[in-house]
C-alpha cells in the first residue's frame, strides 16, 4: 500500500525491545482513515505491544527501546510520534485506547467521565456534563446509566464497564481509537453489543482493533493484518479475507 490521502497511520521498519528481548521485528504497515483495521495472530506475536506502540504506552514499562518510525495523521498534519514535536500526553489524548479488561477508575460513573475531561481536555466545568452525555450516547450507555451517574463505576456489569471505558475515550474526541481485545473478558451477548458499536464507530473514527477471534475479525474487520513473531506477515482487505479458506488462514496463523 502506498501512502495516500487515505492513510491515517504509517509504520515503517519499527522494532521494539524490552531489555534484550525483541518483541517487534521490523514492522511495516499502513492503516487507512475511518476504517476498522483488525490485527490478529497467535498470543505472543506482539499484537498488543504493537498497539501500545501507537500511543507510546510501552514506554511506561522499564527498559523499553525502539527504532523505526511511526507517523500518524492528526489534526490535518502528519506527526512523527517519536520526534518530540508532540507531547506524549497530547498524543495519548488524540489517540485513545480501550484495554482488554475494563479499567474503570475507582470512582463514580460521572467522575469517570468528567475527570479526564477536566484534566486532559482542559474542559471548563459548564461543558463537561454535556460532553459526558454525548459520549455516553455514542457508546450506547446513556439510557442505562443516566439515573445512576453517582453510583460507583464498579457496580456496572462487565459489558457496561467496557462501554464506559469506550465512552471515556470517545469523550476526549480522539481521531484514532485503539482497542486491545475489547471483548476478551466479556460474555457472548456483551461482546456482540460492543462489536456492533465498533462497526458504527468505524465510519467516524480510525479504529485499530486487536482481536483474538476469527469470528470477530470476520464480523468487524475492514482491513485485516496478520501478526506472527513480531512481524506484520500478511494483509488482507475484507473481501479477500472473507473469501479465504478458513483452513488456510488457520495454517498461516498457527
**Would you tell me which residues interact with other proteins (CB under 8 A)?**
55, 57, 60, 87, 89-94, 96-97, 99, 101, 103, 105-106, 115-116, 119-120, 122, 168-169, 172
Task: Write down the least CB distance from residue 219 to other proteins, Å.
Answer: 25
Strands 77-80 and 64-74: antiparallel
If the CB atoms of residues 93 and 228 are measured against other proteins, the closer one turns out to be: 93
CA–CA gap between residue 186 and residue 183 (Å, rounded): 5
Per-position b or e across 222-245, b if 16+ CB within 10 A of its CB: bbbbbbbebbbebebebeebeeee
C-alpha cell at 57: 504506552
> Cβ of residue 33: shortest distance to other proteins, in angstroms?
21
CB of 11 to other proteins, least distance (A): 19
Quote the Cα angle for 152-156-160, to 5°.
130
Bridge-based pairing state of the strands 223-228 and 231-237: antiparallel
Nearer to other proteins, 40 or 113 (CB): 113
Q: Which is nearer to other proteins, 30 or 47 (CB)?
A: 47
**Smaller CB distance to other proteins: residue 161 or 217?**
161
Nearest approach, Cβ of 151 to other proteins (angstroms)?
18
Amino acid at each position: 500500500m502506498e501512502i495516500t490521502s487515505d492513510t491515517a497511520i504509517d509504520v515503517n521498519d519499527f522494532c521494539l525491545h524490552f531489555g534484550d528481548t525483541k518483541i517487534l521485528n521490523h514492522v511495516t504497515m499502513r492503516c487507512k482513515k475511518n476504517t476498522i483495521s483488525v490485527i490478529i495472530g497467535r498470543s505472543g506475536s506482539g499484537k498488543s505491544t504493537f498497539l501500545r506502540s501507537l500511543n507510546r504506552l510501552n514506554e511506561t514499562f522499564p527498559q523499553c527501546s525502539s527504532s523505526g518510525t511511526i507517523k500518524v495523521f492528526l489534526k490535518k498534519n502528519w506527526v512523527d510520534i517519536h520526534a518530540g514535536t508532540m507531547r506524549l500526553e497530547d498524543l495519548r489524548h488524540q489517540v485513545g485506547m480501550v484495554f482488554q479488561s475494563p479499567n474503570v477508575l475507582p470512582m463514580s460513573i460521572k467522575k469517570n467521565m468528567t475527570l479526564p475531561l477536566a484534566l486532559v481536555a482542559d474542559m471548563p466545568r459548564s461543558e463537561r456534563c454535556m460532553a459526558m452525555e454525548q459520549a455516553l450516547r455514542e457508546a450506547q450507555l446513556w439510557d442505562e446509566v443516566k439515573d445512576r451517574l453517582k453510583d460507583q463505576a464498579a457496580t456496572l456489569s462487565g459489558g457496561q464497564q467496557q462501554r464506559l471505558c469506550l465512552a471515556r475515550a470517545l469523550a476526549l474526541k480522539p481521531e484514532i481509537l485503539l482497542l486491545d481485545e475489547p471483548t476478551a473478558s466479556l460474555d457472548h451477548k456483551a461482546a456482540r453489543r460492543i462489536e456492533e458499536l465498533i462497526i458504527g464507530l468505524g465510519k467516524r473514527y480510525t479504529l485499530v482493533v486487536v482481536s483474538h477471534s476469527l469470528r470477530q475479525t470476520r464480523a468487524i474487520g475492514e482491513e485485516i493484518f496478520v501478526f506472527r513473531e513480531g512481524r506484520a506477515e500478511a494483509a488482507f482487505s475484507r473481501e479477500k479475507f472473507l473469501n479465504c479458506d478458513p483452513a488456510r488462514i488457520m495454517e498461516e496463523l498457527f
